[in-house]
Structure 1
Amino acid sequence: MNFIRHNYKSFVQIFVAFLCAHAVFNVGNYFFPNENICDHSISSDSSLTNVNPPKSLEAEDGPPLGVDAETEVKLGLKLDAENDAAVSVDEVSDVEAVIAVEDIENKTMYKIDYSLAHPFENSCWFPVIRRDDADLKSYITRYRNVDCRGQKQIYGPLVHQHRNGEIVVGKPHRSLVKKFNCEYKELSGTLSPYMNTPTLVGEWKKLPTGKRILIQKDQFVIQCKNNDEIVYHNAFAWISDKPRLTPPPAMGPTKYGISILTIDSTSRNQFYRHMPFTLKFMRDHEFQILYGYTKVGDNSAINWLPILAGMVYDYESRGFKNIISKDINFDYKKLGSLLAINKTIFDRAKDYGWPTLWNDEIANPGYGLFHYYGWRGFRRPPADYYFRSYYTYIYKNLGASSGCSNDSCQLSMNFYAGLTHGSASNLELYDIPVSDALQRMKTAGVLENTVLVIMGDHGQRISPIQKSHIGRIEERMSMMGIYMPKKFRDEYPEKYANLVRNRHRLTSNFDFHETLQDLLDLGSGHRRQQTEKHGTSLFETIPIDRNCKDAMIPENFCVCMETPDKTEKEIVQNAQTRIMAYIEDHIENSTKNTCIKKHDVKIDPESFKSATISKLARSGVRFVGDTKKVNGTIRAIFEVQLTGNIEVTTDQSKTYKGTFVARVQYNSKLDFIYVNADPLVRFKGCEEAKVVVDVCQCHKNA
């Protein structure tokens, strides 16, 4: 099993991963090395005891399973406010210093790529927003590190785990411990009905000192004693050998593994704002980031069930009644567990003999992706490698948390829940570790056969930022970035071209599900039997006339904008002259330092049209029946569209004539005008052009 062993790292930092062969474990090996994680071992004032199942489910720790969304939001707002209250940022008054800081940023990585498609082509007018919108200014904070000062450890760490999973027991330099013995015990449990209870299994087994060893357990606890005093206590996880996976399925030249890294409560706009190093790697390596990807439900479970199984639950209260077929409504209250479906992408992968991994960082012993709102967890592990016991143990027994605690500091990077669930700015803490991990993966050749997805389950729905206009949009438009290996691009050029086009189409979780199913088909060589298709694969053509009902997005989460009220229209109309001038200036600036030497723009003032997000979206309605929030809803941000004719002449005296569609964002409250996307153009003789500067490519090829 060297294919697993040599590629492991102490924390397998991928939420979902299932591959044709070893790529799943390659990925796990490169996310978040030990030196980037504060040790969460305890010192001598702690004790270690076996954990026994509770006498009743009511005795389990953790938040009440029935906590409603509003209560969760109120708790989150309180915690986020307490966190941000301690933050004080001094304003930089030196203009030159500000300019110097701005110049450091690589502006090109934030630009929209209009290859093959443009967002203005769609009949659904979904918003294109900017990461630094003035509407968000008061909500944005920068966190690049976790302050672990004050974390007292009497003794240093006596056990080290290398990235390949090897354990070394040894005394640190200048350690106060003079003599000690270490032993380990397997960690298990946390399956339904005792889903919040980790259990230590078997007898304590002694560990040698000063030797590199492999412990063939997925999860285990190590304790070290000096006489009867516990001087070290920690939990570990890694990829152990499993008979079912020997020998591993062959990774052929055209078979691709799939690894999905999910960061809780992360929108595309938020990702652009707080993950600059990671974003630069993604842009440099042709990750396709979806601009129209929209969530279908409020929280994590309702957004992940469509991805895993193409299904939903509570379809009436969650707005699916008239937009889905009844066969995809799952009665989780009756059946209780995702395992009852038997049609998930995990089931298919395991049927084909692929190694599977489910790494759900729970952030709290009572939470988990399918462990709340009446979900009762799993009666058996959902994948070959399942680490809930590890996380439950460190949260309940070692004082671990998503930040610093009395004895520890823990950054748990898997299905990222703890740091970002209730904070709009903590995402930035992950930027350096993720970008470094991606670079290591590239160096090791992991990306040659691995489809890598970096995504959010939804945007920020708890922090105060979600109450802003742009925040409501971010909450609905999750991050979705997909990397396809070059071999795939070369072998399936039409599928890849469709993926590129679909970046600017209205898409949802159901489409991602169908995409994963297609990848399973390609990787296994087995075409699935399909009774009814739910969603459209991103490898197929998604029509430009698609609406939210087509994409199975409930109306309260739909971002297709609507016509403003009469009063709102009048407010926007008052800015028409300025908006037209702004568009003309933008087009003129876009032609500078290009092949275009002359241009003429004629805007049709009668084409003036405005739109804004629905009142359901602006007021943050989570369930379609909760319409009382809509009363008194005020919308102050609008998108304004104008059309016209354009003529450009290149430096070789070649003239192109065409039409354009321009849109600007107008903030009536702050009186700001933004151009968030370049105008869509249609030139005669240069039909492939999407924006004005594309004419230079036609000119070059002529």
Structure 2
Amino acid sequence: MGPPSLRPIHKWIVFCCLFVICVVFLPQQRTNDAPSPKFKALLPVTTTLDDSEDPNDSFPYSSIRVQDATALPLYFVESSQCKIPYVDPFGADTVAVYKRMVYEPCSNDTALVTPIYDVGRQRYVLHINETLATRLLQSREIEYNCYYQEIKRSPSDGYDSVDRKYFSQDYVVPLHVEALILGCHRIDNTSHILQSDAYTLVQFKAPQPGLSLEPSKRKPSLLMFGIDSLSRINLRRTMPKVYKFLTGRGWYELQGYNKIGDNTFPNLMAILAGYSPESAKEQVCDWKTNGCLDETPFIWKYFKNASYLTAYAEDESGINTFNYVKPGFNEQPTDYYLRPLQKAAESDLDTWKCADCSMRYCIGRRETSSYAYDLCKEFARRYVVEQPIWGLFWSNSFSHDDYRMPSKMEDYVLQYMLDLKSDGVLEQSIVIFLSDHGSRYGEIMYFESGFLESRLPSMFIYLPPWFRAQYPEYARALELNQHRLTSNYDLHNTLKHIIELGSPDGHPLPKSYDCPKCHSVFYPMDEQRTCEDAGIPEHYCTCVPYKRLSGDWPRRIAPRVIERINEYLSGRNLSSICANLSLSYIHETEIRVALDQNFHDLQSTSDTAVYRTMFKVKQNSADFRATVVFNNITEAVDVNVTSISRLDSYENDATCIADKTDKLYCICLSNLKE
């Protein structure tokens, strides 16, 4: 006979004991065995799309579904020299605070006057919507006049406007007019404006003599579509539809693309000129002085020399890359250039900020970024079949200050990409969808993935069918390089490579000055590549893990870094206007762990090691992150002060100085808060 059955009360006691054991000991065991989240991959992205859908079709947000997490990668890049962990855009810390934003149209009004390009005459005509004018006037009896003001570029890289010129229906615009402000008013009241608008005109320019359009000798056109401060992680989080489009056939994501500098200027300088700002100042000229940027060997000069038509557009003129605390250009840099019109529109048209906006959301009837993106569409439509073109079209306005804002603009950006497809641009041209860096300040910097968010910008390259067919080896190399370490300097060399493809003499162009080992992404990257090989400074390198430290001894590092910042300010003769910084508290300190080390064994570290420290100072509660070499014996710290990252907005802290780098570290005495 078997043992007697347990009474119900005994069963309940046994069950409770087992439950307590599971709750108390098993999570602890998992915690003790697991590597640091900074080293292992975080949970994968959960916003993916059905493979059956056409990646270049418009689709509703509801079509996004959750995919099994085990099907996704652990790393963006994984080699013996570089491990960049894949980050879940919807990790627990993100989900706790992230909310999608809702798109707000600037206006539901149609255009009262529209510049229409007459292909036969190769001229613009101004067409008035007379029905709309009657509706706006609420009468057929009241008369009105329409006018335009030509916008000209001024030598100061600004604009000059010409007196109003009145016109009648289907007026043919003179060829010299490249930008204009349009308006209509009551004939008896010039201040009663029915509607005003602003346009850049892509006036016809004939191909250069001798330009060959034979398929075997064709020069690849190239359009660069840029969104400031958009990491590849945040793209997946805020614009899943755009991300899906960018994973369609012919697109390649450089998942190991790592920025080389803190903000927009160094990263775009590396892409467009092949120099770091420091090297450009030493080797070319001081870009802070008037006229230097005109002398700098920017990529558009090489494209223009190769018979390309060129364009450069950037919204939010106040923070344009080459104008914010810089002198800008004396000569117009490209054939088509948005800045004069953008400044005129910002000044002459009504502007509006949404409730969550820090920058102008609307200028006139349209979104601020639409002036740059519309120029991209018009430029491509005009020339993509007729002659080779290059253009950079960049927006700051909706992405620069808030990592959530791109979610508001998801369908808006997607529509521009779909328009490029429907206009046949993707049949003809290489397209690069890129960013300069991820978010650099705000709450996202305090996420566990904050270090990676700021250093891993979006980078997608599209190759048209004819290019893939004519250069299959380049397509194969690009596919291989999707999971290898790349940088801005590689992209610069790729732009030069594209120019060389259509060059009849075949002479190689000078490659990126600051990265001798960098090369075009159309050639395979070394699998064992390091950040040093790619020209990426240690402070921005995401290849090697760091482990968070506990205890008191790591707290010695941050005060030494603050001393160095104060010494920097003193050396810049700023101590009389900038506050002397002092430590408030330390968020965290981490130690760099070599990939061949045991991640859990800190006994093998030498007296000198590389550390990352994130700390807050008392003055205006400013936050910083620094990468330093620290000697545990002598307490000597080796740090490049100008590489130290500011993690919160400094716009209102540094109004007493103009230098953009100094602004990061200066808390003006006049701006000190109680």
Question: Is the structural similarity TM-score above 0.5?
Answer: yes
Deviation string for 1:377-403 (max 9, x for gaps)?
011111000011110011122133555
Which of these residues, 483, 508, 519, is aligned with residue 504 of structure 1? 483
Name the residue aligned to 2:532: 549
Q: Is the 8 A contact 1:166 1:213 kept in 2?
A: yes
Query: d(CA) in 1 for partners of 2:524 and 2:411?
Result: 36
Gaps of 5+ in 1: 1-100, 316-324, 569-605, 631-702
- Secondary structure at the residue paired with 2:452? helix
Query: Counterparts in 2 of 1:571-590, with a 5 A limit?
Result: none
Give the greater-gyration-radius structure (CA).
2
- The answer to whether structure 1 residue 240 and structure 2 residue 223 are counterparts is no
- The answer to whether structure 1 residue 332 and structure 2 residue 287 are counterparts is yes
Name the residue aligned to 2:625: 621
Name the residue aligned to 1:174: 135
Deviation at residue 405 of structure 1 after TM alignment: 6.5
Query: d(CA) in 1 for partners of 2:368 and 2:128?
Result: 23
Query: d(CA) in 1 for partners of 2:61 and 2:426?
Result: 32
Query: d(CA) in 1 for partners of 2:264 and 2:78?
Result: 30
Indicate the structure whose relative CO is greater, using CA pairs within 8 Å and at least 6 residues apart.
Answer: 1
Query: Counterparts in 2 of 1:490-529, with a 5 A limit?
Result: 490-529=469-508
- Secondary structure at the residue paired with 1:183? strand
- Secondary structure at the residue paired with 2:135? coil
- Secondary structure at the residue paired with 2:83? coil
- The answer to whether structure 1 residue 436 and structure 2 residue 415 are counterparts is yes
Deviation string for 1:148-192 (max 9, x for gaps)?
59x9x9xx853234588653113306222631111223101244x
Deviation at residue 429 of structure 1 after TM alignment: 3.1
Query: Counterparts in 2 of 1:378-417, with a 5 A limit?
Result: 378-400=329-351, 403-404=360-361, 410-413=367-370, 414=372, 415-417=394-396
Query: d(CA) in 2 for partners of 1:515 and 1:629?
Result: 29
Which of these residues, 142, 149, 173, is aligned with residue 185 of structure 1? 149
- The answer to whether structure 1 residue 471 and structure 2 residue 475 are counterparts is no
Name the residue aligned to 1:649: none
Deviation at residue 111 of structure 1 after TM alignment: 9.6
Gaps of 5+ in 2: 1-59, 119-123, 353-358, 373-393, 552-595, 603-608, 616-623, 628-638, 646-674
Moved more, 454-463 or 382-391: 454-463
Q: Is the 8 A contact 2:81 2:528 kept in 1?
A: yes
Q: Is the 8 A contact 2:76 2:84 kept in 1?
A: no
Q: Tell me the amino acid that sits aligned with residue 544 of structure 1.
A: E
Query: d(CA) in 1 for partners of 2:601 and 2:236?
Result: 25
Query: d(CA) in 1 for partners of 2:92 and 2:424?
Result: 41
Q: Tell me the amino acid that sits aligned with residue 331 of structure 2.
A: R
- Secondary structure at the residue paired with 1:494? helix
Deviation at residue 147 of structure 1 after TM alignment: 6.0
Name the residue aligned to 1:198: 159
Q: Is the 8 A contact 1:140 1:424 kept in 2?
A: no
Instruction: Note closer, same or farther for the CA distance 1:215–1:280 as it changes in structure 2 (3 Å cut).
Output: farther
Deviation at residue 423 of structure 1 after TM alignment: 1.0
Query: d(CA) in 2 for partners of 1:455 and 1:110?
Result: 26
- The answer to whether structure 1 residue 124 and structure 2 residue 103 are counterparts is no
Query: d(CA) in 1 for partners of 2:154 and 2:441?
Result: 27
Query: d(CA) in 1 for partners of 2:471 and 2:601?
Result: 38
Which of these residues, 80, 100, 116, is aligned with residue 142 of structure 1? 100
Q: Tell me the amino acid that sits aligned with residue 355 of structure 1.
A: L
Deviation at residue 143 of structure 1 after TM alignment: 1.8
Deviation at residue 335 of structure 1 after TM alignment: 6.0
Moved more, 380-389 or 234-243: 234-243
- The answer to whether structure 1 residue 288 and structure 2 residue 252 are counterparts is yes
Aligned length: 470
TM-score, normalised via structure 1 length: 0.60
- Secondary structure at the residue paired with 1:283? coil
Name the residue aligned to 1:537: 520
Deviation at residue 351 of structure 1 after TM alignment: 0.9
Instruction: Note closer, same or farther for the CA distance 1:456–1:618 as it changes in structure 2 (3 Å cut).
Output: farther
Name the residue aligned to 2:665: none
Deviation at residue 495 of structure 1 after TM alignment: 1.7
Name the residue aligned to 1:486: 465
Deviation at residue 229 of structure 1 after TM alignment: 2.0
Query: d(CA) in 2 for partners of 1:628 and 1:446?
Result: 39
Q: Tell me the amino acid that sits aligned with residue 225 of structure 1.
A: H
Instruction: Note closer, same or farther for the CA distance 1:355–1:286 as it changes in structure 2 (3 Å cut).
Output: same
Q: Tell me the amino acid that sits aligned with residue 351 of structure 1.
A: N
- Please, what is the CA RMSD of the aligned residues? 3.8
Query: d(CA) in 2 for partners of 1:424 and 1:277?
Result: 17
Deviation string for 1:110-141 (max 9, x for gaps)?
99898xx9822341122221221223224422
Name the residue aligned to 2:304: 350
Deviation string for 1:199-222 (max 9, x for gaps)?
113x5332213x375553220122
Q: Is the 8 A contact 2:239 2:407 kept in 1?
A: yes
Query: d(CA) in 2 for partners of 1:241 and 1:628?
Result: 45
Query: d(CA) in 2 for partners of 1:392 and 1:550?
Result: 41
Deviation at residue 245 of structure 1 after TM alignment: 5.6
- The answer to whether structure 1 residue 269 and structure 2 residue 284 are counterparts is no
Q: Is the 8 A contact 2:285 2:292 kept in 1?
A: no
- Secondary structure at the residue paired with 2:344? helix
Deviation string for 1:241-263 (max 9, x for gaps)?
23676897636355311000000
- Secondary structure at the residue paired with 2:403? coil
Query: d(CA) in 1 for partners of 2:183 and 2:62?
Result: 51
Query: d(CA) in 2 for partners of 1:454 and 1:312?
Result: 22
Which of these residues, 103, 108, 113, is aligned with residue 159 of structure 1? 113
Q: Tell me the amino acid that sits aligned with residue 339 of structure 1.
A: D
Deviation at residue 616 of structure 1 after TM alignment: 3.4
Deviation string for 1:611-653 (max 9, x for gaps)?
99975386653795349989xxxxxxxxxxxxxxxxxxxxxxx
Query: d(CA) in 2 for partners of 1:252 and 1:111?
Result: 45
Which of these residues, 64, 86, 99, is aligned with residue 105 of structure 1? 64
Q: Tell me the amino acid that sits aligned with residue 612 of structure 2.
A: L
- Secondary structure at the residue paired with 2:502? helix
Deviation string for 1:655-700 (max 9, x for gaps)?
xxxxxxxxxxxxxxxxxxxxxxxxxxxxxxxxxxxxxxxxxxxxxx
Query: d(CA) in 2 for partners of 1:285 and 1:160?
Result: 35
Name the residue aligned to 2:379: none
Query: d(CA) in 1 for partners of 2:212 and 2:472?
Result: 26
Q: Is the 8 A contact 1:249 1:353 kept in 2?
A: no
Query: d(CA) in 1 for partners of 2:92 and 2:416?
Result: 32
